[in-house]
């Protein structure tokens, strides 16, 4: 969860220095973020609420790092597409252009996917539910894991949410959310690996070239389709409410 | 282990179970790892679809009716009652896993909730500072070091592994409720409880499941990842669970896109 408006956080006094992350600052960051999300869902409605949540999440997540993590080895495998062309400088330059554009397109679409995931997960009624950032632990050189709980209704046990944060020049950013020990980034990477493998195998069977690149494009298309469907659904809900 | 993790899978694929990854320390990076963990993927995908259809036709509609027609407080009590019935199984597994403190905690919870909580309808123990946790024999086998074997999706049972299937069988016999019903030839009440529990958990996590499904580009792969990660986390519950998930360093990649493009950038 997480989002935008770093300026907003700075104004709120949420100044987290870059460099080594402070665990106290990280706890504060997550508590304020959680409170902000809950407050937004309780005080705003419809498109206004969604836009406010979008702002929060977009500014709080380190999208590129997550996107690169999700691609994993598939991103590095793109190097090998250059071996599939003859040693013609011009052809390789064109391919490099394609690879660069495809990666940028993926990052762009994936940023929207992350926002969609957080929005759909947290855009709900938090009545009688309490979010509490309890403690934090230093994680690597510039990372912090913040431990939090969300008390739930209907007899469901409290949810343990662990946030992996990274200190950046723009303040703390979220890298991963672990729900009851399950990493969302790892889940996303497993999904991506499954899609990439499927399309790469198919491409090879069809005798295609640049299959690593083709699989990346397919993965981007799949995310784009899901994002578009979600936008359509949101628009439909807005129309039915009006 | 939190019941959440157990039940979210129970219902996600139509019903999880428990099972364990054979290599909890592995931090997989993809395709090869998935092939190793899921050697029967084509079969599993077919079973997954079968379970999804059943879920859509039967479980989900009934769960929605339950959510919309039963008062929230009554839902909470029913849920609590069912959790209480499972406490003896957790208790046995606490001790089998040598978690004495948790075992005494479970025992206290069961006694308090069965008496003051009116057979578990009210979770009085939680209010007294004894939070609920859940253990099963699949976890116990994992903690004993038994490898989980490959990921399997079975009709009606859903996500599982060979170890988790053995665990479920053992848990059946560890349950005093089941023992009583079998002994007095009232087996039908075992099925009633299973049906009610499945319905209640499906209703309890309906929103989470819907979100999970709607936000997956490959729902099967997402459920498999969730299940296997969940099992790893369960086994490591008392040790260093956090170390299993990727830490911030895992996101600090040593190359950037320029390296990939090499001299052609």
Tell me: the pLDDT tens digits for B151-210?
999 998 899 999 999 999 999 989 999 999 999 999 999 999 999 999 999 998 888 888
**What dihedral do alpha carbons B8, B10, B12, B14 form, nearest 10°?**
-160
What's the pLDDT score for residue A57? 87
Enumerate the β-bridge partners of residue A179: A161, A182
Tell me: the pLDDT tens digits for B203-252?
988 888 888 888 899 999 999 999 988 888 887 763 344 555 666 666 76
Q: What is the nearest CA distance from A7 to chain B, expressed in angstroms?
A: 24
Q: Give residues 157 to 196 of B whose Cβ lies within 8 Å of A.
A: none
What's the pLDDT score for residue B12? 44
DSSP code of residue A16 = -
Q: Domain spans of chain A?
A: 6-233
Q: In this model, does residue B42 exceed pLDDT 80?
A: yes
pLDDT grade, residue B253 (50/70/90)?
A: low
Q: Could you give the CA distance from residue A41 to residue A123 in angstroms, rounded to a whole number?
A: 6
- Residues in chain B within 8 Å Cβ distance of A190: 28, 30, 34, 221-222, 224-225
What's the pLDDT score for residue A230? 86
Two tokens, residue A15: 């100044």
Chain A with chain B: Cβ pairs closer than 8 A:
177
Tell me: the pLDDT tens digits for B93-151?
999 998 899 999 999 999 999 999 899 899 999 888 888 888 889 889 988 988 888 99
% pLDDT > 90, chain B: 48
Q: Could you give the CA distance from residue B246 to residue B243 in angstroms, rounded to a whole number?
A: 7
What's the pLDDT score for residue B192? 93
Compute CA distances B200 → B65, B78, B100, whole Å. 11, 8, 30
What's the pLDDT score for residue B37? 86
Closest to A127 measured CA to CA, from A151, A103, A97, A106: A151
Q: A6-233 adopts what CATH topology?
A: Nuclear Transport Factor 2; Chain: A, (3.10.450)
Contact A191 B222 (CB under 8 A): yes
Contact B218 A194 (CB under 8 A): yes
Contact A195 B217 (CB under 8 A): yes
What's the pLDDT score for residue A19? 41
**Prediction ipTM score:** 0.76
Best A102, A156, A189, A223 member to test B by mutation, with max B CBs in 10 Å, is: A156
What's the pLDDT score for residue A17? 39
Report the residue of chain A nearest B262, measured CA to CA: A79
Q: In this model, does residue B2 exceed pLDDT 80?
A: no
What backbone torsions phi and psi does residue B128 show, to the nearest 5 degrees? Answer: -90, 10
Q: Give residues 154 to 183 of A whose Cβ lies within 8 Å of B.
A: 154-160, 162, 164-166, 175-176, 178, 180-183
- Quick check: B63 and B144 in contact, CB under 8 A? no
pLDDT per residue as tens, chain A (242 positions): 444 444 444 333 333 334 455 888 889 999 998 888 888 888 888 788 888 888 888 888 888 889 988 988 888 888 777 777 766 667 777 778 888 889 999 999 999 998 888 888 777 667 667 888 988 888 877 888 999 988 776 566 678 888 999 888 888 899 988 888 888 888 999 999 999 999 989 988 988 888 889 999 999 999 999 999 888 887 776 656 55
What's the pLDDT score for residue A7? 41
- Quick check: B158 and B10 in contact, CB under 8 A? yes
Q: What is the nearest CA distance from B145 to chain A, expressed in angstroms?
A: 20
What's the pLDDT score for residue B177? 93
């Amino acid at each position: 969860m997480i989002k935008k408006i770093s300026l907003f956080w700075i104004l709120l006094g949420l100044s987290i220095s870059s460099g080594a992350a402070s665990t106290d600052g990280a706890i504060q960051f997550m508590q304020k973020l959680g409170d902000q999300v809950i407050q937004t869902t309780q005080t705003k409605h419809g498109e206004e609420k969604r836009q406010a949540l979008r702002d929060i999440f977009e500014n709080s997540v380190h999208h590129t790092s997550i996107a690169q993590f999700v691609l994993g080895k598939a991103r590095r495998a793109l190097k090998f597409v250059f071996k599939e062309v003859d040693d013609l400088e011009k052809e390789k330059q064109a391919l490099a252009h394609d690879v660069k554009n495809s990666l940028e397109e993926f990052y762009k679409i994936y940023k929207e996917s992350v926002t969609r995931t957080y929005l759909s997960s947290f855009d709900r009624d938090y009545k009688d539910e309490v979010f509490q950032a309890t403690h934090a632990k230093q994680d690597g050189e510039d990372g912090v894991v913040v431990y939090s709980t969300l008390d739930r209704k209907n007899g469901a046990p409290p949810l343990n949410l662990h946030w992996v944060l990274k200190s950046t020049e723009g303040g703390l950013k979220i890298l991963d959310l672990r729900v009851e020990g399950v990493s969302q980034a790892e889940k996303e990477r497993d999904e991506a690996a499954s899609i990439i493998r499927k399309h790469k195998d198919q491409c090879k069977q069809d005798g295609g070239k640049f299959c690593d690149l083709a699989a990346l494009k397919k993965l981007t298309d799949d995310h784009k389709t899901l994002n578009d469907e979600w936008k359509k659904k949101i628009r439909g809900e807005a129309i039915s409410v009006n | 282990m939190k019941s959440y993790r157990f039940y979210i899978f129970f219902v996600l694929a139509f019903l999880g179970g428990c099972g364990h990854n054979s290599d909890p320390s592995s931090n997989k990076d993809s395709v090869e790892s998935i092939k190793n963990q899921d050697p029967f993927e084509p079969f599993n995908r077919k079973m997954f679809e079968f379970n999804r259809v059943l879920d859509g036709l039967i479980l989900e509609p009934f769960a929605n009716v339950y959510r919309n027609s039963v008062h929230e407080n009554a839902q909470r009590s029913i849920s609590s009652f069912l959790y209480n019935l499972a406490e003896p199984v957790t208790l046995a597994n606490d001790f089998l896993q040598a978690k004495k403190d948790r075992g005494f905690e479970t025992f206290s919870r069961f006694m308090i909730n069965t008496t003051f909580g009116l057979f578990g309808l009210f979770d009085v123990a939680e209010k007294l500072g004894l939070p609920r946790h859940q253990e099963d024999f699949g976890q116990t086998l994992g903690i004993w070091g038994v490898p989980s074997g490959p990921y399997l999706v079975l009709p009606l049972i859903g996500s599982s592994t060979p170890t988790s299937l053995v665990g479920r069988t053992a848990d059946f016999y560890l349950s005093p409720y089941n023992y009583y019903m079998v002994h007095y030839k009232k087996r039908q009440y075992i099925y009633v409880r299973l049906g009610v529990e499945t319905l209640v958990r499906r209703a309890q996590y309906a929103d989470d499941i819907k979100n999970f499904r709607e936000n997956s580009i490959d729902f099967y792969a997402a459920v498999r990842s969730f299940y296997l990660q969940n099992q790893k986390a369960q086994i490591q519950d008392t040790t260093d669970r956090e170390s299993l998930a990727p830490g911030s360093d895992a996101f600090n990649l040593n190359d950037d896109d320029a390296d990939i493009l090499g001299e052609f950038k």
